[in-house]
């Protein structure tokens, strides 16, 4: 591993990327809510894939056919340290 890839790996370990979907019920279209679809803790989510419409959204929607994807956003933040 070269120095540049090590630095990128370090940054990724400090940053969490969250995909937040806006979902509406097909039976009640005005009934919408926000749902965290995944985070970079659980899936391979990069900033670029999140901004372009991460494949995780398509996978999640296949598992939830009663909802319509009205939109999504990416949230970026520092990883929360976990207490011992």
Going from N- to C-terminal start, the domains of the chain cover: 3-78
Reported as a pLDDT band with limits 50, 70 and 90, residue 17 is confident
pLDDT recorded at residue 33: 94
- Helix intervals (H) in 1-84: 3-14, 47-53, 55-63
State the pLDDT at residue 8: 47
Per residue in 19-74, pLDDT tens? 888 999 999 999 999 988 877 676 677 777 777 766 778 888 888 899 999 998 88
Threshold 0.85, pTM exceeds: no
Q: What is the pLDDT of residue 13?
A: 57
Q: How far apart are the first and last CA of the chain?
A: 30
Specify whether the CB–CB gap between 45 and 68 falls below 8 A: no
Alpha-helical (H) ranges within 15-54 are 47-53
Give the Cβ contact number of residue 74 at 10 Å.
16
- Report CA 19 to chain centroid distance, whole Å: 2
CA distance 51 to 36: 15
pLDDT of residue 22: 93
């Amino acid at each position: 591993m070269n120095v540049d890839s090590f630095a990128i790996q370090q940054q990724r370990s400090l940053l969490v990327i969250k995909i937040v979907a806006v979902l509406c019920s097909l039976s009640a279209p005005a009934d919408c809510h926000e749902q965290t679809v995944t985070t970079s803790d659980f899936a391979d989510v990069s900033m670029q894939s999140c901004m372009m419409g991460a494949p995780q959204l398509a996978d999640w929607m296949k598992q939830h056919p009663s909802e319509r994807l009205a939109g999504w956003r990416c949230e970026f933040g520092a990883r929360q340290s976990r207490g011992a």
